[in-house]
Copies of this chain bind each other. A is one copy, B any other.
Amino acid sequence: MIFNFASDNAVGASALVMAALAEANAGPALAYGQDPWTARVEAAMSELFEREVAVALLATGTAANALALACITQPWGAVLTHEESHIADDECGAPEFFTNGAKLVGLAGVGSKLTPEVVTAQLARMPHGAVKQVQPQCLSITQATESGLVYRPAEIAALAAAIRPRGLALHMDGARFANAVVALGCSPADITWKAGVDVLSFGATKNGAWAAEAVVFFDPAKAEQMPWRRKRSGHTVSKGRFVAAQFEALLRNGHWLDLARQANRLAARLAGGLGAISGIRLGWACEANAVFGIMPQAMAASLRADGALFYDWSARSLPAGEALRPGEGIYRFVCSHATTEQEVDGLLAAARNLAVAG
A30 at the interface (CB under 8 A from B): yes
A109 at the interface (CB under 8 A from B): no
Convert A131-148 into 0s and 1s, putting 1 for each residue whose CB lies closer than 8 angstroms to a CB of B: 111110000000000000
Contact status A238-B91, CB under 8 Å:
no
Convert A231-271 into 0s and 1s, putting 1 for each residue whose CB lies closer than 8 angstroms to a CB of B: 11111111101100000000000000000000000000000
Chain A residues bordering chain B, tally (CB within 8 A): 74
Known: A21-B18, A239-B9. A93 touches B66 (CB 8 A): no
Q: Can you name 11 extra interface pairs (CB under 8 A) apart from A21-B21, A96-B101, A96-B103?
A: A10-B28, A61-B238, A89-B132, A91-B232, A92-B134, A93-B232, A94-B234, A132-B231, A211-B237, A211-B238, A211-B242
Measured between alpha carbons, how far is A348 from B48 in the docked complex, in Å? 46
Measured between alpha carbons, how far is A229 from B234 in the docked complex, in Å? 13
Measured between alpha carbons, how far is A241 from B232 in the docked complex, in Å? 25
Across the interface, which residues of B come within 8 angstroms of A89, CB to CB? 132-133
Across the interface, which residues of B come within 8 angstroms of A242, CB to CB? 12, 210-211
A residues sitting closer than 8 Å to B (CB atoms) are 2, 4, 6-7, 9-13, 18, 21-22, 24-32, 58-64, 66-67, 74-76, 89-94, 96-104, 131-135, 205-206, 210-211, 225, 227-229, 231-239, 241-242, 309, 338
Across the interface, which residues of B come within 8 angstroms of A228, CB to CB? 74, 76, 92, 131, 134-135
Copies per complex of this chain: 4
What are some 21 contacts across the A-B interface (CB < 8 A)?
A2-B28, A6-B28, A6-B30, A9-B238, A11-B27, A12-B239, A22-B22, A28-B309, A59-B59, A63-B233, A63-B235, A64-B234, A74-B225, A89-B132, A91-B132, A96-B232, A97-B100, A131-B227, A134-B228, A210-B239, A210-B242
CB nearest neighbor in B for A231: B92
Measured between alpha carbons, how far is A132 from B90 in the docked complex, in Å? 5
Measured between alpha carbons, how far is A211 from B235 in the docked complex, in Å? 11
Return A138 CB to nearest CB of chain B, in Å: 14
